[in-house]
Amino acid sequence: MANTNTTLGAAKASKKDEFYTQLGDIEKELSHYREYFRDKVVFCNCDDPYESNFFKYFALYFNALGLKKLIATCYDGSPIAQQELPLFPDENNEQKKKAYKVEISEVPDLDGNGATDLTDVKLLLKSSDHNIKAELKGNGDFRSPECIELLKQADIVVTNPPFSLFREYIALLLKYDKKFLVIGNQNAITYKEIFKNMQNNELWLGYKSGDMAFRVPNYYEPRETRYWVDETGQKWRSMGNICWFTNMDIQKRHEYLILVKKYSPEDYSTYDNYDAINVNKTDDIPNDYPGIMGVPITFLDKYNPEQFELIGIDRYVEDNPNYGKRFTIDGKEIYARILIRNKKPQIS
């Protein structure tokens, strides 16, 4: 568990956690969940409205989705919060960084079909007395008392939380029994707490997994790979192990994985000190093996709880004789493996 004294701003700065999601990526994923949002309060609790495409998406589709309210909170280290300083002068009219919240309860319907082109926050705030922007007393951290009170009001949380605080972030959403759709690093699957949540069917992967590009702040240093600067001078980073995590049911998690391989001892190694076979690729899962199999973490992108049972994850499975360590084959440690069992093996 992350240190609760770690501020959101410190996490972003020290762990390079400030990644801005593209609107197109949000639109593609959210297209699978539209039925969940009617008459709901959506909370983007890691989002500066002036910068966040999550806020922009829900402002654009506020009427089409039938939202009741949209809330976004900004932490006091946000670049835009610093640019918006004149909105919150202190008693001596001096500028200072401030966290704030924006609540949107009404969006003018300009074209008659529920969409709007009012993507500018200031215009949204002026368009209705029901839309407000207010200074927060605290720093806007998603764990702060103010943000938790807003979380209690929300039905669904959608955002890109800081990856370094992912365990703590998910724990908070589950504690308050919220529906959510958030972006995370695929390696979060290997966290003991997150995998336990998945094993208990408290969360699962959404539709998109794999490569995703993000805008990053100017202070990010250049990298040799997966980094570029566009024609406007904007810096970009991409990662190949990004996925969406959710607890909203989707058709994808009920689709059966078609298995064509048959088991033979010659084709599948066993672990040195654990009774299970090793499967290097999801496509290689044998359809007739009734025992425990170790598969890559990418398997969870195809996981159907009606077809497979999640036994555990290698390091933390209770009967691992070397608890806390990965499995080995011929003395060589292999990459993380999820232990599964086929509920319906095709045994002839």
What proportions of the chain, in percent to the nearest 5, are helix, strand and coil?
30, 25, 50
pTM of the model: 0.87
What are the tens digits of pLDDT across the range 90-124?
444 444 468 999 999 999 876 666 666 766 777 88
Of 156, 9, 12, the residue nearest 75 (C-alpha): 9
Average pLDDT over residues 28-49: 96
Percentage of residues of the chain with pLDDT beyond 90 = 70
Tokens of 23: 């609107």
| Residue with tokens 């998109």, as numbered in its chain | 208
Residue 112, classed as helix, strand or coil, is: coil
Interacting residues of 229 by C-beta distance below 8 A, sequence separation 6+: 235, 236
Answer positive or negative: Cα dihedral of 248, 252, 253, 255.
positive
Interacting residues of 227 by C-beta distance below 8 A, sequence separation 6+: 235, 236, 237, 238
What are the tens digits of pLDDT across the range 289-344?
999 999 999 999 999 999 999 999 999 998 999 999 999 999 999 999 999 999 99
Cβ neighbours around 146 below 10 Å, total: 16
What are the tens digits of pLDDT across the range 168-209?
999 999 999 999 999 999 999 999 999 999 999 999 999 999
- Domain extents for the chain? 8-253, 255-342
| Residue with tokens 């308050």, as numbered in its chain | 176
What pLDDT does 93 receive?
Answer: 41
What pLDDT does 112 receive?
Answer: 61
Residue 190, classed as helix, strand or coil, is: helix
What are the tens digits of pLDDT across the range 67-81?
999 999 988 765 544
What pLDDT does 204 receive?
Answer: 97
